[in-house]
Every structure is written in C-alpha cells, then in structure tokens.
Amino acid sequence: MAGRRDKYSQSLRGSKIAIAIVIGVVFGCVFAFLFPHGFFSSSSDPPTRNLSLTKSSLQVDSSSCDSTERINMFKSDIMKLSEKNAELKKQLRELNEKLQLASQGKGHAEEQVVALSEPRKAGPFGTVKGLRTNPTVLPDESVNPRLAKILEEIAVRKEVIVALANSNVKGMLEVWFTSIKKVGIPNYLVVALDDAMVEFCKSNDVPVYKRDPDKNVDLIGKVGGNHAVSGLKFRILREFLQLGYSVLLSDVDIVYLQNPFDHLHRDSDVESMTDGHDNMTAYGYNHVFDEPAMGWARYAHTMRIWVYNSGFFFIRPTMPSIELLDRVADRLSRENAWDQAVFNEELFFPSHPGYVGLHAAKRTLDFYLFMNSKVLFKTVRKDAALKKLKPVIVHLNYHPDKLSRMRAVVEFYVNGKQDALDQFPDGSE
C-alpha cells in the first residue's frame, strides 16, 4: 500500500510540474507576442499602451450602456440650462429697457414702464396714456468697433452732439466748437469728410472721427448732386444709433449758449427744432381753406405746421428712428430732393393706399430756446423783454451771411454787446 501511495504522489507531482511548464510556455508566447521589445520598454510604444488600456477598455465596454445614458442626461441638462439662460437674458434686456425709461423722468416714466408690461384694462376716463417712448435697440458694437471705442470715451449717458464738416466750413466750425467749449459741453464729435478737416480738429483739440472707406457712400460723395451729398449724414448717423447712442445732430452754423442736453425731454424718437417763428407756425394750427364755388361747404379745415429743421434734431436709438434714417437716405440717393423736405415727409405723412407711414413719435422743441435766425432777427431783437431771454442755441438757418451773424450772436449773448445785432436786416439782401 505504501509503495502504491508513493508512486501516486510522484505521478501527481510530475503532472503539476508539466502543467506549470505548459502554462509558462503559453504565457511566454503571449508576452512575446504582445511585448516584442520587452516588458519594460518605453511607455510610448503602441503595444504597451494597448496592454495598459486593456483592463480599462474592458471596463468601458462593460459599462458603455450606462455611460451613454449619463451623457444623454448631461446633454439634456445642458440644453435646459441654455434655454433658461436665454430666457434670463431676455428678461434682463426687458428690465434694462424699463430702467432706461424710468431714468428719463419728466413725469412720464412710470406710465411708460407700465405700458411695456403685460396687457391691462383701460383705467377711468382721463387717466389712460398711450405708449410714447419706444424702447432702444440692442447695441451692436460689431457694426463699427472703432467708432464704438471713440463714443465710449466721449459720450455722456450714451448721448453725443455730432456735426459733419469738410474743410470748406472751417470758419463756421471754429465758432461752433468754441461756443461748445465755452458752455462746457464735453460730449461732442466732428465727423470729418476730408483729411484737412481731421488735421484742423486735432490742432484745435476737438474730438474728430473720419469714417472708413465705403464704396456706396463714397460714390454718392463723388458723383451725387448737392442734395444726395447732404443725405450722407442720414447714412452716417445710422451707425451711431446701431451702437446704442442717442445723437443730437447739429449743423455747423449754430452757436451754443447753454447745454442742450439739459433741455431735452427724451420722450420721443425725434425731438427737433422748428422753422416756425411763432406758436401757430411752430406747433401747428387749424387753417381754413375757402372755396366759394362749393357754396354751403365752401370752408374746409386743414391742419398746418411748419417743417422741422433737419440741421438740428435729437434722435434716439430706436427702430422707428433707424427706419427714418433709412427712408430718407434711400430717397435722397434716388431723387433730386431737398433733404429737409424728405425728412419731414417721412416723419409726418400718414399711411394711405400704396404707402405705409412711419410710426415714430416726435416732439417740437421750444422755438425760443432752440431759436432759428428768423425768430431772432425779426422778433426777438426788437422786443425788450425777449432780448433778456437766453436761448439754448441759435441756428443761422434763415440767412446766407452765416459767419458774420454767428459772430454777432456771440457778441450779443456772450460778450454783452447790446447793439451787435442791429447792423443786420431782418432777411437777406
């Protein structure tokens, strides 16, 4: 029995050794195949990377379904967060618009904020107020980054006086910016139409901007008539509004005596000075047209108002304002028309068959504060009481001898020379 057990034990040990040898040979072949350059070769070798990733790859494969579900869940959460973020941005933009309206004051801010909110029922008789102030556009600095940087430095509360000028009006421009500096107005800018004007402004420490070349605009400047060239200001102003700035457009034949921004209402798309010379012509009146041949119906009532002056107006960055600029610029590029006439037609003409009118709010500025030269020379200088009033600006729009009259205005209102205006006739000779 003992002899048989010894033989069995020896046989078992021999089998284990054989199995171990076989396993060693198999593992040796596998490692030789997977690691031809040795087990401790550089980690940058592809086979080594494959082996190092074998276990993790198997784990990824085994849980690929779970990972795909997690990724889909993450994507869904990201989409929901993006939608929520967009909604919050929209709400923030609406709140900013309401805050801008609220900051304008003048007694109408509260009504405007309410009007921008959810629909509501009409209140009692005499309490209902319509929406007067359109919200401003979302600024787009990509329109003109260079201009945006300039305006960021000089504008005050995103408002700026802008004048277009070339080297032919240096004399008037000098009186213009000297009066502005005298009043202490910091937010003004000259848009130079030639290099000589750029140098003139820089030499006088006047903020200046010369636009980049634009084939469409430059073509009008080169081959267009006088009226087409005057329409360039409407094209150029568009960029200011797109950048989110309100502009007080100013001709250069204007003398500043007070800061005009202290006398604006900011409740309309456009606030303009008038060519009218009294309450009726400036603010409108009922004109009765008489046609005797009609007998009993011989009298027809009409509404009349003298035009706004397209050389001095305040325009807010709203959609109707930009549409106004586009309409005027487009017509002036195609028609032989006066820019002031087109400006007023687009502002005032109502919708009718074949024509859709502009839905823009407008305000006529006080003609004694924003004074044209007809008011000054025909009325004010002859009235002892009116002579004591100090206008905000005087626009020499009614007279061709502009420079001499501008200097006389400075002598009268700034230097106190009481007879400075006496040498000039009421009109032009």
- Convert 292-325 to b/e letters by CB count within 10 Å (16 or more is b): eeeeeeeeeeeeebbbbbbbbbbbbbbebbbebb
Please count the CA atoms within 13 angstroms of the CA of 335 that sit on its side-chain side.
Answer: 12
Question: Rounded CA gap, 363 and 308, in Å?
Answer: 10
DSSP letters, 161-213, are EEEEE-GGGHHHHHHHHHHHHHHT---EEEEESSHHHHHHHHHTT--EE-PPP
Q: Give helix then strand counts, H and E, for the chain.
A: 16, 12
Question: Rounded CA gap, 187 and 275, in Å?
Answer: 26
What pLDDT does 85 receive?
83
Q: Going by C-beta distance under 8 Å and a sequence separation of 6 or more, which residues neighbour residue 424?
A: 377, 399, 401, 404, 405, 408
Question: Rounded CA gap, 187 and 157, in Å?
Answer: 9
Provide the H-helix boundaries in 226-337.
226-230, 232-242, 279-283, 319-334
- Measured in whole angstroms, the distance separating CA 79 from the mean position of its chain's CA atoms is 31
Digit-by-digit pLDDT tens for the chain (429 residues) are 444 444 444 444 555 665 666 576 666 655 555 555 554 444 444 444 444 444 444 444 555 556 777 788 888 888 888 888 877 876 776 676 556 555 544 444 444 544 455 678 899 999 988 777 899 999 999 999 999 999 999 999 999 999 999 989 999 999 999 999 999 999 999 999 999 999 999 999 999 999 887 766 655 544 444 445 567 899 999 999 999 999 999 999 999 999 999 999 999 999 999 999 999 999 999 999 999 999 999 999 999 999 999 999 999 999 999 999 999 999 988 888 899 999 999 999 999 999 999 999 999 999 999 999 999 999 999 999 999 999 999 999 999 999 999 999 999 999 999 999 999 999 987
Helix (H) or strand (E) holding 347: helix 339-348
What pLDDT does 340 receive?
94
Question: Rounded CA gap, 362 and 351, in Å?
Answer: 16
What pLDDT does 71 receive?
81
- Convert 408-425 to b/e letters by CB count within 10 Å (16 or more is b): bbbebbbeeeeebbeebe
Residue 98's SS3 state is helix
What pLDDT does 229 receive?
56
What pLDDT does 75 receive?
80
Whether the CB-CB separation of 273 and 362 falls below 8 Å is answered with: no
- Measured in whole angstroms, the distance separating CA 24 from the mean position of its chain's CA atoms is 81
Sheet strand arrangement including 370-372: 254-256, 393-395, 370-372
Tokens of 322: 């930009």
Question: Rounded CA gap, 143 and 32, in Å?
Answer: 67
Cβ of 376: how many Cβ atoms within 10 Å? 29
Cβ of 395: how many Cβ atoms within 10 Å? 26
Whether the CB-CB separation of 179 and 393 falls below 8 Å is answered with: no
